Each structure stands twice: as C-alpha cells, then as structure tokens.
C-alpha cells in the first residue's frame, strides 16, 4: 500500500514537471513622474471599459497577464496612453517629457518582432512622413501669405496631399498581412481603410481576424462600405423614395431625364466644402445643359423643420433641382462616408464616377462630351 502511495506521488510530480509554464505578458513601467505615484495604470478594452489596473509606486509599476496576442488594450497613464497587445515576453515602458512642448511620451522596448514594437515603429514612420510634408506645406502657405494662392501653389499643396496618401499607404502595407489577427494587422488595417476602394475594404474585412471584426467602428464602416460597393463605379443607379420635413415625397429617379447624364450631389447645409462646390455645379449645369440634369440632395441636417436647408438653398444659390432627405436614407443606401459626395450616372443608368471632387466630375463630363 505504501509503495502504491509513493508511486502515485511520483507520477503526480512527473506530470507536474511535464506541464509547460504558462506564457505571460510582462510590462514594467519606469521613470514615471511623482504625480502618478499612488494612482493606477489602467488597461481599457476595445469597448473603453477598464479591464485591469496596477498601482504605481516610486515611479514604477509591474504588470503581468496571460499571453494572448489577440487581446488588445489601451494603457492610460495620467493623460497619456498607448495601445498594447498581451504578447508573450518582457516589455519595458519608459515615460519621458518633451522639453520643448512639455508633452508626455511613452515608449516601449521589447522583442523587435512583436506587434507592439512593429506598431510603434510604423507609427514613428508615419509621424516622420507627416512632419516632413507639413514642413513643406507650411513653407508654401507662408509664401502665399495674405494673397490669393496661385494655381501653381494650389497644385503644390495638392501634390503634397497626394504624396502623403501614397507614401503612408506604402508604410501601412509594409506592416499589413491580409487575414492576420495580430495587433499590427489591426493597426495597419485602420491606416489603410481610408485608401481602399469600398470593394477592397469589404474584401479585406471579410478576410480579417477577430481583432478587426470586433472593432465596433470598423464593423460599422463595413456596413457602409458594403453599400458604397453596391453603388460604386460600374454599378447601376439605385432609386429610392425621399421624404422631406413636410412629409412630401419624391422618387430620386424623378430628377433624371431620359437620354441625359445625371449628376447626383449629396450635401449638407453646415458643410463648408459643399458650399465651395456649388459654383462649379452651376458651371456644369450651364456647360452641359443639353446633356445633363442635376439634383442636390440634403442629408444629415441637424434641424427637424428644414429651416437650415431652406436657408442653405438661398445662400448657396442652388437654382437646379434640390430636395431634403429628412430621413437621410441615402446615407444607408449609397454608403455615404461624408459630404459632398458626387455620383455621375450615364443615360443608361450606369454609375460612371463617384467621389468628393466636383472639379474631377467636370473634367469627366468634358471627356465624355468631346
């Protein structure tokens, strides 16, 4: 009996010896200001709920959690924050203060191949690119001064914006793995989202892991992008019933004319760029009067009685057909992501162009009507 007991104990010890140690995420904070002593470093989940915390003492803290690289949280220290994932390994967080601005900077050190370090590196490259191009744009703006910018200066500023879009996309792509489910994939996905076509966004979201799909903002954007993909270039015009604040109804198709192009302008009374686009729409109306009809549809109005819309029609000098979509159904049906949004439809009902640049629409119409 005694031999059996010792055999059982030996077996239990052998089993325990064979059990691998639990993988852990370890984070040590150093150099924290005295003002943070006695407070807590808080970890928030993706829904902005506090999921864990650790006491700060003598300018330091030590945090340990089970390793899981699909768990992302935002660490908040006083007024500073940093996004982290619970990756296996030891990481050190350093708190410094910029002498020039007084701003707090958080820097993490650890495995260079970790998502934490890659995300920090990627963010650094984006910030460096932004600072470089901002410096160039500030020189142009300083040269303009109080004068009206020349076409050359406007083109230079436009070129800088395009360069930022192209170069930042290259940076994000260099860190992005389609279908990946690590923090760096989620981070890069957010950076790329604005550069993808609606169809590309939908494709990448469908292939994505849980980090992307559980992000409520990205999930909401996915629904919008699905609608935008259904009403993108090459798709067919979609009709729907508009209802204004007075309860009057109108089908969107009633603004079209047989055999003519149709320019659909979604705008809002409070939108500055919308107001700036109206004179160009007036030019288009005059230039292509024989081959085109237009309609400016107001969405996302902030009053219930249509007063702001009615005033905007006067202030923006809208002399072509217009209507207020009081329910903003267009935002859902057409997947609007902002205003103004312009959609150019062929006489046959095919969507030829979609975007936010009315000058580009004017150029397209000139190409089509040479």
Residue 6 Cα to chain centre, angstroms: 63
How does pLDDT run across 233-258, given as a tens digit for each residue? Answer: 999 999 999 999 999 999 999 999 99
What was the pLDDT predicted at 17? 53
Last residue in a domain, options 85, 111, 137 = 111
Mean pLDDT of 176-198: 97
Domain termination site, one of 183, 205, 230: 230
pLDDT digits (tens, 9 = 90+) for 209-223: 999 999 999 999 999
What pLDDT, in 10s, does the model give residues 300-325? 999 989 999 999 999 999 999 999 99
Same domain, 94 and 69: yes
Token readout for 300 is 């996302």
**Same domain as 88, residue 34:** yes
Nearest in space to 267 (alpha carbons), one of 343, 346, 171, 361: 343
Q: To 5 degrees, how large is the angle CA 152–CA 157–CA 163?
A: 120
pLDDT of residue 205: 98
Judgement on whether residues 149 and 167 belong to the same structural domain of the protein: yes
pLDDT tens column, 45-65: 999 999 999 999 999 999 999
Residues 79 and 98 grouped into a single domain: yes
- Asked if residue 320 lies in contact with residue 296, where contact means CB atoms within 8 angstroms, the answer is yes
Whether residue 340 is preceded by a cis peptide bond, meaning omega within 30 degrees of 0, is yes
Mean pLDDT of the chain: 94
Q: Assign residue 25 the CATH number of its domain.
A: 2.60.40
pLDDT (average), residues 183-191: 97
DSSP code per residue over 115-134: HHHHHHHHHHHHHHHHHHHH
Please check whether residues 47 and 92 belong to one and the same domain.
yes
Are residues 81 and 59 located together in one domain of the fold? yes
Per the domain annotation, does 281 fall within a domain? yes
In a domain, 164, yes or no: yes
Same domain assignment for residues 219 and 187:
yes
Q: Is the dihedral of CA 288, 294, 300, 306 positive or negative?
A: positive
Residue 131 confidence class, pLDDT cut points 50, 70, 90: very high
Residues 226 and 131 in one domain: yes
Q: Which residues contact 145 (CB under 8 A, 6 or more apart)?
A: none
- Same domain membership, residue 164 and residue 141: yes
Note the pLDDT of residue 207: 98
Residue carrying the six token digits 């004179």: 279
Using the predicted structure, report yes or no on whether residue 180 has a pLDDT greater than 70. Answer: yes
- The confidence score (pLDDT) of residue 19 equals 56
pLDDT score at 21: 72
- For 1-25, how does the pLDDT look when each residue is reduced to its tens digit (9 = 90+)? 445 444 544 444 444 455 567 899 9
How far is 367 from 370, CA to CA, in rounded Å?
Answer: 6
* pLDDT value of residue 20: 65
C-alpha dihedral, 182 to 187 to 190 to 196, nearest 10°: -70
Domain that holds residue 355: 241-368
Domain edge (last residue) among 230, 250, 276: 230
Instruction: Name the pTM for this structure.
Output: 0.87
Same domain, 89 and 131: no
- 181, with CB counted inside 10 A (0-12, 13-18, 19+), is middle
Percent of all residues in the chain with a pLDDT value above 70, rounded to a whole number: 95
Residue 2 inside a domain? The answer is: no
Q: In sequence order, what are the residues at sequence separation of 6 or more whose Cβ sits closer than 8 angstroms to the Cβ of residue 246?
A: 306
Q: The domain spanning residue 320 has which CATH number?
A: 3.40.30.10
User: Residue 22: what pLDDT?
Assistant: 87
Residue at 13 is within a domain: no
My answer on whether 252 and 360 are in the same domain is yes
When pLDDT is averaged across residues 268-282 and rounded to a whole number, the result is 97
Q: What does the buried/exposed string (b/e) look like for 235-257 if buried means 16 or more CB atoms within 10 Å of the residue's CB?
A: eebbeeebebbeeeebebeebbe
Asked if residue 10 is part of any domain, the answer here is: no
159 and 96 both lie in a single domain: no
How many domains, the chain?
A: 3
Q: Crossing angle, helix 216-230 and helix 183-193, to 10 degrees?
A: 40
pLDDT value of position 303: 93
Domain membership flag for residue 11: no
Q: Measured between alpha carbons, how far is 342 from 236 in angstroms, rounded to an integer?
A: 15
The pLDDT of 256-283, averaged and rounded, is 98
Question: What is the Cα–Cα distance from 359 to 269, expressed in whole angstroms?
Answer: 20
343 lies in some domain:
yes
- Which three-class secondary structure state does DSSP give residue 344? strand
Look at residue 18 in the predicted model and tell me its pLDDT.
55
In a domain, 7, yes or no: no
């Amino acid at each position: 009996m005694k031999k059996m007991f010792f055999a059982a104990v030996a077996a239990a010890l052998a089993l325990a010896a064979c059990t691998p140690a639990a993988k852990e995420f370890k984070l040590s904070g150093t150099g924290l200001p005295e003002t943070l002593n006695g407070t807590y470093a808080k970890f928030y989940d993706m829904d902005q709920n506090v999921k864990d915390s650790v006491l700060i003492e003598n300018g330091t803290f030590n945090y340990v959690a089970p390793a899981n690289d699909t768990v992302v949280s935002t660490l908040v220290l006083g007024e500073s924050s940093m996004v982290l994932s619970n990756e296996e390994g030891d990481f050190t967080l350093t708190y410094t203060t910029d002498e020039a601005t007084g701003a707090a900077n958080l820097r993490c050190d650890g495995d260079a191949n970790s998502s934490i370090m890659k995300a920090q590196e990627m963010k650094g490259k984006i910030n460096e690119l932004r600072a470089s191009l901002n410096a160039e744009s500030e020189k142009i703006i300083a040269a303009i001064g109080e004068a009206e910018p020349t076409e050359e200066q406007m083109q230079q500023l436009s070129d800088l914006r395009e360069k930022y879009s192209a170069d930042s996309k290259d940076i994000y792509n260099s860190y992005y793995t389609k279908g990946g489910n690590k923090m760096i994939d989620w981070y890069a996905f957010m950076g790329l989202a604005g550069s993808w076509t609606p169809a590309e966004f939908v494709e990448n979201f469908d292939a994505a892991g849980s980090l992307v799909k559980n992000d409520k903002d990205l999930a909401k954007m996915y629904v919008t992008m699905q609608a935008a993909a259904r009403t993108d270039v090459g798709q067919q015009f979609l009709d729907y019933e508009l209802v204004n604040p007075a309860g009057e109804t109108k089908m969107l198709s009633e603004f079209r004319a047989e055999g003519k192009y149709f320019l659909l302008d979604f705008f809002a009374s409070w939108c500055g760029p919308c107001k700036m686009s109206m004179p160009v729409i007036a030019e288009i109306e005059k230039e292509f009067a024989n081959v085109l009809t237009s309609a400016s549809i107001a969405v996302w109005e902030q009053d219930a009685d249509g007063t702001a819309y009615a005033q905007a029609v006067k202030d923006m000098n809208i002399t072509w057909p217009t209507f207020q979509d009081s329910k903003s159904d267009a935002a859902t049906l057409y997947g609007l992501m902002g205003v103004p949004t312009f959609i150019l439809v062929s006489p046959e009902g095919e969507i030829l162009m979609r975007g936010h640049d009315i000058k580009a629409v004017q150029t397209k119409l000139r190409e089509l009507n040479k």
